[in-house]
Amino acid sequence: MPGKMIYLDYAASTPVDSRVLDRMREVAELNCANPSSTHAAGREAQAIIAEAAAQLAELLNVSPGSLIWTSGATESDNLAIAGGARHRTHRGKHLVTMKTEHKAVTDVFEALAKEGFDVTWVDAGADGLLCPDSFAAALRDDTQFASIMYVNNETGVIQDIEALGTICRERDVLFHVDAAQAVGKLPIDLGNLPVDLLSLTGHKFYGPKGIGALYIADRAGCHVEPILYGGGQQRSIRPGTLPTDLIAGLGMAAAVAATRIEPDLAHLRALRQLLWEGIRCVDGIRLNGDPGGFPGILNVSVEDIDGESLLLALEPLLVATGSACNSKTGEPSYVLRALGLGDDQAQSAIRFSLGRPTTRDEVEFAAARYRDAVAHLRKLAPDRAA
């Protein structure tokens, strides 16, 4: 595939599904009204938003009224964590999360620590999985809030959300889940999962950028304080004029996902296995994270190779050395270091992330390109230890 860019960075963002684009275009051309307006066009915009809420609610098995629209997962995480923790200070000021969380989570906990909250950072195992017993041991009598990611954005590790949530319910701890990498990709039944708050974003599952949602369980004690003020929309939890076309797009992405999750998973499993079989022969290669994680992500390190040099040598593959939000620091992945990797191992990591449009030909080309790139870089470093 000479000269053709091959996109293998679906964990960073996905292309907008054609049905989503059609729905957004239809809404944008049909209705320009502010959905807060009480006139006919405003009421029509409200109806479009209600339809999208019903589509997303069906995907998650929740009530449409439990969903708050946001600008994306980062805002949803901030609203859930800061808003939830501040609402429950009467319960205590101890919070629990993991070292391998997304920056949209870790940075909020660090900010709350400066406000006087006490944060415990629990460790994952070498495979990235959090042991429920270790999680339970981190909870105290004054623990009031915990946040654990569903699918890790760098390694694809899937946490046992049901077990962790059950522990939280038994201890009266509010439980938040960053599900940006899980919604629309894995079956999620919030009607039966013990989750209080769940964050999601549209652009991770073939919807538009700039729109997300926060699920807030309808149960006693489950509430968040606003972090934005003005207007009073969405019960004043998240005020501001709602983007009708973006919301309609997210709703359509959810409707499409509801029919695609199982075939997509089967497609990704086959491609991930093909990719791993094609590169596992490389000397010194290591698969990072639990091999049984989300099949759309394969994170590998290799001995004696610099990640940035490898990234350039892999062109025209469009892959990542870490999460998209943290790719400009030049530092080794804090997620991989938390799993016990040294700086050199973490620095050499490449994340391949596959998607609905990925083909077998692209994966076979990617595997060959990776093998050739490593071999080429090693020829440039003849002093490499045998």
- Catalytic residue ranges: 325
Burial (Cβ within 10 Å: 0-12, 13-18, ≥19) of residue 131: middle
Within a 10 A sphere around the Cβ of 222, how many other Cβ atoms? 16
What sign results for the dihedral spanned by CA atoms 187, 191, 196, 197? positive
CA 354/CA 385 separation, integer angstroms: 33
CA 157/CA 186 separation, integer angstroms: 13
Q: Of the candidates 294, 300, 283, 270, which has an alpha carbon nearest to the alpha carbon of residue 363?
A: 270
